[in-house]
Amino acid sequence: MLLREVTGRLTQTELAHLGSGEVGYIRKMRSEEVSRCFPEAPDIDPDVDLWALFGADGTPILLTDNRSSTFYKAAEDELKTVSLH
């Protein structure tokens, strides 16, 4: 991962790629949000709890109704996971 001294500044490009290929974030999603991030997904029942795994740059990786699956996929892709609240 790219690290700089506290006094150093990251360029926009460096910031955009920070954690790329190393960090993934997991978040709960509502069914109405799915088509924005996963346009190929079918219509989903609004009562289903959904979980998504994204790359550090926001690239969607996985959509599932099983939270544990997001952690398994992240481990498979060797990503350190963080959760968004």
Q: What is the pLDDT of residues 6-62, one digit of tens each?
A: 556 766 665 555 556 568 999 999 998 998 989 888 888 989 999 999 998 889 999
User: Considering the domain boundaries, does residue 31 fall inside one?
Assistant: yes
Task: Classify 21 as helix, strand or coil.
Answer: coil
User: Considering the domain boundaries, does residue 42 fall inside one?
Assistant: yes
User: Considering the domain boundaries, does residue 36 fall inside one?
Assistant: yes
Residue 52 is predicted with a pLDDT of 95
User: Considering the domain boundaries, does residue 50 fall inside one?
Assistant: yes
User: Considering the domain boundaries, does residue 2 fall inside one?
Assistant: no
User: Considering the domain boundaries, does residue 4 fall inside one?
Assistant: no
User: Considering the domain boundaries, does residue 79 fall inside one?
Assistant: yes
Q: Which amino acid is at 17?
A: H
Q: Check whether 4 has a pLDDT greater than 60.
A: no
Tell me the sheet residues that pair with 64: 51
Domain range holding 30?
A: 12-83
**CB distance 78 to 64 below 8 Å:** no
User: Considering the domain boundaries, does residue 57 fall inside one?
Assistant: yes
Question: How many domains is the chain partitioned into structurally?
Answer: 1
